[in-house]
Amino acid sequence: MLTTTSLRRHIPEPGIVTWLSIRPERKAPVKVLESVQAIPGKGLEGDHYGGSGGLREVTLVLREQIDAISSFLKQDVLPESLRRNLVIEGINLTALKEMHVQIGDAVIEITGNCPPCSRMEENLGLGGYQACRGHGGFTARVVEGGLIRIGDRVVGLGACQ
């Protein structure tokens, strides 16, 4: 018989990185990239969060969450509007909380939810903030540095120690 514990450890399919960016400065436009270096204790090279350490070195959002936001707003939402570093498709990032996650050459730990800020109203129009609630993505810290590229697989490695 399957237990809840065994079900939580089983991640059937990997995800994929479909988009990535850095935010060079607070409130500056995002810079879309093909690849970026993840650095432990710093986050993504060139991102304004670099060097801050802590639990929010990298931000991620699911392509499926962007689709939900688009549906709520009845308009296409572009990844750069949400200002997250990575867009991931095909895997439930909530299932990877408290796990080490391999993305390309890097290993990260999903540390929590990344709620929307008031900027979503500016970026998406009236109702943008509310449409993003519960769909704002996730925060992570870099455990092992390495290159992350568009098309890289996203694989749960197991529980954090």
- Give the mean pLDDT of the chain: 89
Q: Would you state the pLDDT for residue 71?
A: 96
Look at phi and psi of residue 41 and say left if phi exceeds 0, alpha if psi is from -120 to 50, else beta: left
Percent of the chain whose pLDDT exceeds 90:
61
20, 79 Cβ separation under 8 angstroms: no
HSE-CB of 148 using CA atoms within 13 angstroms: 33
Do 104 and 146 form a contact (C-beta atoms < 8 A)?
yes
Distance of CA 89 to the CA centre of its chain: 10
* Predicted confidence (pLDDT) per residue in 70-127, tens digit: 999 999 999 999 999 999 999 988 888 878 999 999 999 999 888 888 888 889 899 9
Residue 12, pLDDT score: 62
What is residue 158's predicted lDDT score, i.e. its pLDDT?
A: 72
Where do the structural domains in the chain lie, given as residue ranges?
19-159
Given pLDDT bands bounded at 50, 70 and 90, which one contains residue 48?
confident
The mean pLDDT value for 5-32 works out to: 83
3-state secondary structure the chain: CCCHHHHHHCCCCCEEEEEEEECCCCCCCCEEECEEEEECCCEECCCCCCCCCCCCCEEEEEHHHHHHHHHHHCCCCCHHHHCCCEEEECCCHHHHCCEEEEECCEEEEEEEECCCCCHHHHHHCCCHHHHHCCCCCEEEEEEECEEEECCCEEEEEEECC
Q: Is the pLDDT of residue 56 over 80?
A: yes
- The CATH label, of 1.10.260.40, 3.90.650.10, 2.40.33.20, 3.40.50.12160, for the domain at 19-159 is 2.40.33.20
Taking the CA atoms of 60, 63, 137 and 155 in sequence, report the sign of the dihedral they define: negative
pLDDT of residue 25: 87
| Residue 9 predicted with pLDDT over 70 | no
Range name among 7-16, 17-26, 76-85, 118-127 with the lowest pLDDT average: 7-16
pLDDT of residue 55: 78
Query: In this structure, which amino acid lies at residue 11?
Result: I
d(CA 89, CA 154): 9
